[in-house]
Amino acid sequence: MRQRYEWLETEWSKMREQSLCREWQTVESLAEHGGTWIVVGGKKLLNMSSNNYLGLAHDPQIMAAGEKAARQWGAGGTASRLVLGNYPLYDELEQRLARWKQREEALVFANGYQANTGVLAALAGRGDVVFSDRLNHASIVDGIVLSRAEHVRYRHNDWEHLAFLMEKHQGTKRKWIVTDSVFSMDGDKAPLLELIKLRERYGAFLMVDEAHAGGVRGERGQGLCHELGIASQVDVLMGTFSKAFGVYGAYVCADQVVIRHLRSKARSLIYSTALPPGVVGSTIAALTQIEADEWRRQALQHNAQLFRRLLAEKGFAVTSDDTQIVPITLGENERALQFSQKLWERGVAAVAIRPPTVPDGTARIRFTVMATHQPEELVWAVEQLTAVRDECAGGM
């Protein structure tokens, strides 16, 4: 049997040589502060790799809302929404999302990957061209591939390069621009104001993935597009419930004609079982919290600024961005793994990110700050980082 899979053994050996093998750690318990501290392998660790940006995943009201919905409607969705898997909870959530995002309608998906692949494959097709930032999330890339549209990638955040490429495709039937608003591995923001101008100049459509900005940017957490005042000019606004919401799932908001089309054409929606009622109930409660709790966004912003400043004071190269995602680029895969392991030994859980998630030669530690981190915890984390850097002389 082993000989039958010899090709997989060979591939695994190559991956191991390149420090590209993946293993996961099991979180055994949440030690303190609702996930800010965790226990892995019997060791207590400060969690610096969570997308639970606002600390809502362990909010008692959100958990209680999920339990109530599950008791009323059951543990599972039981069918796709088009086959008697649609309950009043889903309609309530979508109506709330549409009002929150100030769009005509919203549509909930099982997760962000399914939202991006389903939307792009349904709205773009042969004869169209999709212009995509080189550092867009993998789900966007896969959605473009599934659409069978021409895939044109522009240099990261280089709107002038995008303009050059769009000029070359003037005669294309339909043109789509797709971008993350906050990039998940670099923590920088897309040049959305310039993309809106290109949308108008070339008669293109624009889709923005707000996964890492939803809940944390804008006056009521609607995202970076709302913060910049351009949301009404974006054709499709996408976001997730698995980051700032602390739950699970995803959504798109758009004009009614777009959502109507997606209900009948988005294969990832049509052929998937509906989200469990408990998840939807928790999400509705999380949306209520996000709209009301400005203090969480303020705390997150303060912590992100503090962490960046502390790193800069210690001589680390950090970008001037103000997001909660703070990468320290190390370059080689093995170096990033060793750095992460040494942090682990010192009590900081910060995971090494390697290709293909990031480009070759840019392996890094991706730190994420939470609203529930205490300032003294961030000061301590930077002290551990500095000590590890000094241990790994020449490793930065």
The catalytic residues are: 184, 212, 243
> In what helix (H) or strand (E) does residue 208 lie, and over which residues does it extend?
strand 205-209
Give SS3 for 182.
strand
Residue with tokens 């892995």: 40
Q: CA end-to-end span of the chain, whole Å?
A: 44
Q: Give, as one character, the DSSP assignment of residue 76.
A: S
- Written as six digits, the tokens of 334 are 């093995």
Distances in Å between the Cα of 356 and the Cα atoms of 22, 185, 338 are 12, 12, 18
Phi-psi region of 209 (alpha: psi -120 to 50; beta: other; left: phi over 0): beta
Q: Where are the alpha helices (DSSP H) in the chain?
A: 6-17, 60-73, 88-101, 112-123, 138-147, 159-168, 192-202, 224-227, 256-265, 267-270, 277-292, 294-313, 333-345, 375-391
What does the alpha-carbon distance between residue 358 and residue 362 come to, in Å, rounded to a whole number?
6
Question: How far is 46 from 383, CA to CA, in rounded Å?
Answer: 13
The C-alpha angle with vertex 357 and arms to 356 and 358, in degrees rounded to 5, equals 85
How far apart, in whole angstroms, are the C-alpha atoms of residue 48 and residue 351? Answer: 8
Helix or strand run (H / E) with residue 177: strand 175-180
Residue with tokens 């021409």: 150
DSSP-assigned states of every residue in 232-253 = GG-SEEEEESSSTTSS--EEEE
